[in-house]
Amino acid sequence: MLRGGKDAYWGKKARSMVEGRSKRGTLYDGRAAERARKGLEQWEETVYREWTEGHPGRGGDFQTASGIPVKPLYTPDDVADYPSQGFPGVYPFLRGIYPDMYRGRLWTMRMFSGFGTPEDTNKRLKMLLDHGETGLSIAFDMPTLYGYDCDHERAHGEVGRCGVNVSSLRDMEVVFRGIPLGKVSTSMTINAPATVLTCMYAGVAKKQGVPTSQLRGTVQADMLKEYIAQKEWAYPPEAHLRLVRDLMVFSTREMPLWNYISISGYHIREAGSSAVQELAFTLADGFGYVELGLEAGLKVEQFAPRLSFFFNSTMDFFEEIAKFRAARRIWATVLREKYGVKDKRSLHMRFHTQTSGASLTWQQPLNNVVRTAIEALAAVLGGTQSLHTNSYDEAWALPTEQAAEVALRTQQVIAEETGVPNVIDPLGGSYYVEWLTEQMEEEAYKYFDRIDAAGGLLKAVKTGYLQREIAENSYRLSKRVEEGKDSVVGVNKYAKAEKEPIDTLKIDFRAQRAQMKRMATVKRERDEAKVRGALAKLEKAFENDDANAMYPMLEAVVRYATLGEVMGVGRKVWGSYKEPMIL
């Protein structure tokens, strides 16, 4: 999948999804399907057609957000030849990866947080923990995401604006001041500098006296997704993949509880993809990382349990649920059939979900509370392991404390008041959900075959194939909204004139001034000769593809080499990257 070379497996799976399915136990027997077929024909002839004739709106053209046409009604006949769903905790895990799911343990409530200075973010994290959050999730600002220090010319005006600024280990120490890393799970949404931030996190743990072997959490580190959708890279793809390889090997040895890649469909979806494309491209990235680990000499059973996923949940309620269910089955099936994985734990797809930022509107922003609740419910019904709920004001600015609290309370209401967690896979057996799950899976396998035919995932990225697919879908969706075929309440339907309706969080230049002052102090107090020596070791490691760069990188970070200095070594060795023009 990663390097290319025609693989018969993908074409065979794509054809089998279309031409015939496994008969290993089906949802309904032939007699039940036949009765349903006859009953539906009678209903359509005597009830439905008469009701809709002369009323085009009643019998119009309906489809999912991915463009999959949907019928007005589904019966056992639509799913009669589909495989039995199986049971939770049993291969292929369609109904959930754990036997008791939320009966045994609720999903982790992990609110994405970070803004301004490390002090600002430390205060917000402690507030969320006090209000019942069960896992930390750190958002970083643009200079940090690109690997620049707060005093770099490209950082001007962006420090602390869309997340917290972290320019050195000293900043990371402040972010987690008073938060014992041995007792919390932390997710860090960082990609190009993911190895550096992982070293910083390990450095903070060392100062707290916490062994790296006890650290729990996730670093995103999904560089394939960056080239496909988010565009926050520092080096050419091959260089970033080499660093991901080093991170996989290092974490397997030194941080066995750490999830070192969060394979992210979220940003693919936010860039304009359909749910089908999000499913297919995310899983294709996942299989690419499996092959990267194998190339590094690791066994799949060593690293697969530490691969996690990050999905979007947006407004097409049933399609989102079907996507999550299909993702689990595809991942388990391909790992067992194609890669020969037998260990049950290695077949589990564990995923975090975030409600859709793209679905939020700046018009009538309180409507976003409802949108987020619906999207969160879909994620829970789909079996997510952790969840972030967006705040209603995020179309305007970073969340205020009040908006973040409402977003967290949304999860808590679903968990504590609805009864939804009491039953595992409560929509399993729904004719529509089962049919739609199969459609999502079928379309995903078709995409896998196309990506392989395009020369593999890396070539598909470098030629812009995947980016074009997303751009075309984004245009299709925008056009449907503009033409009124898809409704967005408050935007193209039920709109009204309004002044700025809410108070927002405002980030000024105070954060940049404070960060630059701390940076100057760090450089003044550190041992400059040891920093330069550590950076020289790192450069040699970067130049030697057989070396693992994580060890000299960790040494440089704990000696207070800055983020920009570490990333600058890579820019010197590997240069930069310019993506192909997408026509």
The whole-number pLDDT of residue 3 equals 83
Give tens-digit pLDDT for 434-489.
Answer: 999 999 999 999 999 999 999 999 999 999 999 999 999 999 999 999 999 999 99
Separation in Å, CA 506 to CA 76, 153, 298, 449, 503: 54, 22, 47, 47, 9
The whole-number pLDDT of residue 547 equals 97
The pLDDT confidence band at residue 135, using thresholds 50, 70 and 90, is confident
What would the mean pLDDT of 207-222 be, rounded to a whole number?
96
The pLDDT confidence band at residue 497, using thresholds 50, 70 and 90, is confident
- Which tops the pLDDT comparison, 21 or 40? 40
For 478, list phi and psi in degrees, rounded to 5: -60, -40
The whole-number pLDDT of residue 398 equals 87
What would the mean pLDDT of 153-161 be, rounded to a whole number?
94
What six digits make up the tokens of 314? 């947006």
What six digits make up the tokens of 511? 């954060």
Tell me which of 70-79, 220-229, 325-334, 537-546 is least confident. 70-79
The pLDDT confidence band at residue 214, using thresholds 50, 70 and 90, is very high
Most confident of 27-31, 61-65, 145-149: 145-149
Give tens-digit pLDDT for 355-394.
Answer: 999 999 999 999 999 999 999 999 999 999 999 999 999 9
Separation in Å, CA 535 to CA 408, 538, 576: 42, 5, 19
What six digits make up the tokens of 222? 């999904």
Q: Residues 101-482: name the CATH superfamily.
A: Methylmalonyl-CoA mutase (3.20.20.240)
CA 230 to chain CA mean position, Å: 12
Given a cut of 60, is residue 410 above it in pLDDT? Answer: yes
Q: Where are the alpha helices (DSSP H) in 139-221?
A: 142-146, 169-175, 194-208
- Which tops the pLDDT comparison, 225 or 509? 225
The whole-number pLDDT of residue 498 equals 82
What six digits make up the tokens of 571? 């820019």
Q: Is this prediction's pTM over 0.85?
A: yes
pLDDT, mean over the chain: 93
The whole-number pLDDT of residue 461 equals 94
The whole-number pLDDT of residue 165 equals 97
Give tens-digit pLDDT for 105-119.
Answer: 999 999 888 999 999
The whole-number pLDDT of residue 260 equals 94
Contact by Cβ (8 Å): 138, 181: no
The pLDDT confidence band at residue 81, using thresholds 50, 70 and 90, is confident
DSSP 580: P
Question: Looking at the chain, how many residues does it have?
Answer: 583
Contact by Cβ (8 Å): 1, 282: no
Given a cut of 90, is residue 24 above it in pLDDT? Answer: no
Give tens-digit pLDDT for 282-324.
Answer: 999 999 999 999 999 999 999 999 999 999 999 999 999 999 9
Given a cut of 60, is residue 23 above it in pLDDT? Answer: no
The whole-number pLDDT of residue 580 equals 79
What would the mean pLDDT of 202-209 be, rounded to a whole number?
96
The whole-number pLDDT of residue 305 equals 94
Every domain of the chain with CATH number 3.20.20.240 lies at: 101-482
DSSP 229: I
Cis before residue 552, ω within 30 degrees of 0? no
Give tens-digit pLDDT for 234-285.
Answer: 999 999 999 999 999 999 999 999 999 999 999 999 999 999 999 999 999 9
The pLDDT confidence band at residue 499, using thresholds 50, 70 and 90, is confident
What would the mean pLDDT of 168-189 be, rounded to a whole number?
96
Separation in Å, CA 515 to CA 115, 161, 202: 12, 13, 21
Give tens-digit pLDDT for 86-95.
Answer: 899 999 999 9
The whole-number pLDDT of residue 59 equals 54
The pLDDT confidence band at residue 21, using thresholds 50, 70 and 90, is low
The whole-number pLDDT of residue 183 equals 93
